[in-house]
Amino acid sequence: MGTLDNRHTGIGMTSDRTRARMVERLRDDGIRDEVVLEAMNVVPRHIFVDEALAIRAYEDSPLPIGHGQTISQPWVVARMSELARNGRALGDVLEIGTGCGYQTAVLARIAQKVYTVERIGALVAKARRHLTALKIRNVALKHGDGTSDLGEELAVDAIVITAGATHVPEALLRFLKPGARMVLPLARGGAAGGDGERGTQRLTVIEPALQGYKEETLDAVRFVPLLPGIT
Ligand code: SAH
């Protein structure tokens, strides 16, 4: 991907080295899944941010992508991918909150097919440009509200929600195959919309159980809110 890197940003081959360092930091910070680490090593994060920010693309921080949204920090992307994989090969995966498409691109390397939904039309277009530039073809992108009925039936191995929820979006649970899981930032008790963002969100893993579902609460995180409707 060296040529692509050069053409897009001019930061050139140095990005391969800085990305390798980012992966070493992820390892130091507790990411264990080698399949995920390899995906993080291959996907050029700087392609997904504006040129002026490309120089910061391999820092472990979120960055603005326009429309009040952010690209998640690399550690969070790696951690959610690791939790989604749970040590297994993934077939189909559903992502809610495409944003600029970076997490989508990482998922596309560790799953056979990624269905991704974004509520902001301009970001759908942006993500499509990035994924096309990287010749990533196993992604189906949709402009829609990922908390509502998606208008199609899916049966997936994992659902990854990349915006902060204040409750489990139960409409999506029926898409989980037996043994599949949902990974999301959850801040129960936060008010709808913006307040959920300020409450303490925790990465949460949901697994359907015989009655209802089983829930595991993990790392504290900060995501922009999961919002209803499209724009
Ligand atoms: N995964 C992204 C992170 C994007 S931030 C990345 O790697 O860059 C979260 C995204 O979720 C935003 O783009 C926001 O518009 C989107 N979003 C919020 N609520 C949504 C909903 N109900 N349906 C679909 N997308 C939603």
Tell me, using a 6 A CB cutoff, whether residue 117 lines ligand 1.
yes
- For residue range 165-207, list pLDDT tens digits in order: 999 999 999 999 999 999 999 998 765 444 444 568 999 999 9
Superfamily of domain 6-221: Vaccinia Virus protein VP39 (3.40.50.150)
Distance 210 CA to ligand 1 centre (A): 30
Is the pLDDT confidence value at 210 over 80?
yes
pTM: 0.93
Atom of ligand 1 nearest to the CA of 99: 13
- What average pLDDT score do residues 27-42 get? 98
Tell me, using a 6 A CB cutoff, whether residue 131 lines ligand 1.
no
Is the pLDDT confidence value at 160 over 90?
yes
- Which string of DSSP letters, residue by residue, matches the chain? -HHHHHHHHS-TTHHHHHHHHHHHHHHHTT---HHHHHHHHHS-GGGGS-GGGGGGTTSSS-EEEETTEEEPPHHHHHHHHHHHHTTS-EEEEEEE--TTSHHHHHHHHHEEEEEEEES-HHHHHHHHHHHHHTT--SEEEEES-TTS--SS---EEEEEE-SBBSS--GGGGGGEEEEEEEEEEE-TTPPTTHHHHHS-EEEEEEEE-SSSEEEEEEEEE--PBP-SS--
Give the whole-angstrom CA distance, residue 183 versus residue 206: 6
pLDDT for the residue numbered 147: 93
